[in-house]
Amino acid sequence: MGRFGLHRTGSVAYKRYLRSQAWGYRRVRWFADCRQAGHEPACQVCGITLTRAGTLDLHHVSYKGVGQDEEGRWQAREAHNDLMPLCRDHHQRLHQIMDGKKEFFGWDRRRATIVIVARMIRQSQA
């Protein structure tokens, strides 16, 4: 399947991936690995922790490692740093900005994510 462009985050295939068993396991493993390393997962914008929030989203900074095998089964081999924890509100806001502003069309997904998250942090501190 390869990498998705910024305009493809709402695609049917991507939505199927997010409902897949592979993504479910990868998501659980990401949070477990983070805690095992001694870090409590927290939203990168507001700092609310997984324990306090009850749940956090994982934003794909990159889709490298996401694909399907020959039988069409999803493969979730994202690198740890290709996923970023965000509370639901900030994740939705990130996508509104990333997918809705022409400024970010054609940008590398990692670069766009970093710029937008930095802006959201500055706005929350103002």
Whether the pLDDT of residue 1 is over 50: the answer is no
Closest of 21, 97, 11, 108 to residue 64, by C-alpha: 108
- The partner residues of 57 in beta bridges, in order of sequence, read 86
Mean pLDDT of all residues in 98-121:
91
> 3-class DSSP state for residue 84?
strand
Average pLDDT over residues 44-56: 96
Q: What is the pLDDT of residue 8?
A: 53
Name the amino acid, one letter, at 48: I
pLDDT value at 88 more than 80: yes
What percentage of the chain exceeds 90 in pLDDT? 72
Query: Tell me, what's the pLDDT at 56?
Result: 97
Distance CA 71, CA 2 (A): 16
pLDDT given for residue 101 in this prediction:
80
Whether the pLDDT of residue 4 is over 80: the answer is no
Query: What value does the mean pLDDT of the chain take?
Result: 89
Dig out the tokens for 26 from the structure: 């990868």
